[in-house]
Amino acid sequence: MATVYQHGTLGMLMEGLFAGTITWAEVLKHGDTGIGTLAGLNGEVIVINGEVYQGEASGKVNHITDLSTTTPFATVAFFDENSVAMTLPALYEGGLDRFAEEQQIQNTFALFELHGSFKHVKIRIAPKSEEPYPTLAEVADNQLEFEADEIDGTLLGFFSPALYEGAVVAGWHLHFISDDRTFGGHLLDYTAGDLEGNYQVFDDFNLHLPIQNQAFRDYHQDMQGLAESIRAAEGTAE
pLDDT at 184 over 70: yes
**What is d(CA 95, CA 107) in angstroms, rounded to the nearest whole number?**
18
Mean pLDDT for the chain overall: 94
Mean per-residue pLDDT for 212-237?
78
Q: How confident is the model at residue 221 (pLDDT cuts 50, 70, 90)?
A: confident
Task: State residue 2's pLDDT score.
Answer: 94
Report if pTM > 0.85: yes
Q: What percent of the chain has pLDDT over 90?
A: 88
Q: Is 227 helix (H, G, I), strand (E, B) or coil?
A: helix
Which of 86 and 229 is assigned the larger pLDDT?
Answer: 86
Q: Are 38 and 71 in contact (CB under 8 A)?
A: yes
pLDDT at 238 over 70: no
Which of these ranges, 63-72, 136-145, 183-192, has the smallest mean pLDDT?
A: 136-145
Total count of residues recorded for the chain: 238
Which of 237 and 5 is assigned the larger pLDDT?
Answer: 5
Mean per-residue pLDDT for 131-136?
94
Mean per-residue pLDDT for 180-203?
98
- Give DSSP secondary structure letters for 113-147: EEEEEEEEEEEEEPPP--SSP--HHHHHTT-EEEE
Q: Is 143 helix (H, G, I), strand (E, B) or coil?
A: coil
pLDDT at 172 over 80: yes
Give per-residue pLDDT as tens, 10-32. 999 999 999 999 999 999 999 99
Task: State residue 207's pLDDT score.
Answer: 98
Q: How confident is the model at residue 235 (pLDDT cuts 50, 70, 90)?
A: low
Upstream peptide bond of 132 is cis (omega within 30 degrees of 0) = yes
pLDDT at 232 over 80: no
**What is d(CA 127, CA 42) in angstroms, rounded to the nearest whole number?**
6
Mean per-residue pLDDT for 140-144?
91
Task: State residue 237's pLDDT score.
Answer: 44
pLDDT at 46 over 60: yes
- Give DSSP secondary structure letters for 143-209: -EEEEEEEEEEEEEEEEE-GGGBTTB-SEEEEEEEETTSS-EEEEEEEEEEEEEEEEEEESEEEEE-
